[in-house]
A = this chain, B = another copy of it.
Amino acid sequence: MASVVTSASMSLDGYIAGPAESGFELLFAWHNNGDIEVPSADPRWSFRLTAASAEHVRGQLAEFGALVVGRRLFDLTGGWDGSHPFGVPIFVVTHKAPDDWAHPDAPLTFVTDGLESAVRRARAVAGDRAVGVAAGEMARQALDAGLLDEIRVDLVPVLLGGGTRLIGDLADAPVRLGTPVVRESEGVTHLRYPVVRAPGV
């Protein structure tokens, strides 16, 4: 079955967004600090990456088959104008679908019966590819539900001092992870942590 993965750029002090949705230019500076152009699925823009980060991003682009995000991220990004850089189906967990969504033909589905339902539907379309779950509150729900297989962190050398945390408010801490796979780059360290589950969970 498709593995479920959360992936985020994070400050050294553990934030995926700074106070009042600040800091994105720092958290995502590594998307544009190299010489290697990696096209996104959106023809309007590309990544410009170091060699190590290019390998990392190409892997992500090939590996993810569907995404699950929350309404907050959907609103914050304007639903990526209907064109997410990964170019895969997106399931938006929300209490109520918006009435005025401007891109009804985009591969984007509003799911009103919760995270687990969204992951189930994402898995159905992802096939063998991974399901990406947005960091923060969605990743917290996936972890608490025992659905999360891996946490990928693009660790950025900055202290933001506050903001949105990687995995929301954990219901059941501490959570043990495995030793990460590490890929060093410039201005970012790519880390992939397996989630370690207690036997039988």
Contact = CB atoms under 8 A, between A and B. Distances in A.
Given A158-B177, A159-B174, A166 B12 contact: yes
Interface residues of A, number: 41
Contacts of A180: 157, 189
B13 A167 contact: yes
Given A14-B165, A23-B174, A161-B170, 8 more contacts: A11-B174, A158-B176, A159-B166, A159-B167, A159-B174, A160-B174, A161-B173, A182-B189
Contact of A12 (B159, B169, B177, B186): B177
Main secondary structure on A side of the interface with B: loop
> Which 8 residue pairs are nearest across A and B when measured between Cβ atoms?
A14-B14, A161-B173, A157-B177, A161-B170, A159-B175, A13-B14, A182-B184, A160-B174
Interface of A: 11-15, 18-19, 22-23, 26, 151, 153, 155, 157-162, 165-167, 169-170, 173-180, 182, 184-189, 191, 193
A46 to B, nearest CB: 23
Given A13-B166, A167-B13, A173 B160 contact: yes
A161 B178 CA distance: 17
Contacts of A178: 157
Nearest to A157: B177
A142 B19 CA distance: 22
Contacts of A189: 180, 182, 191
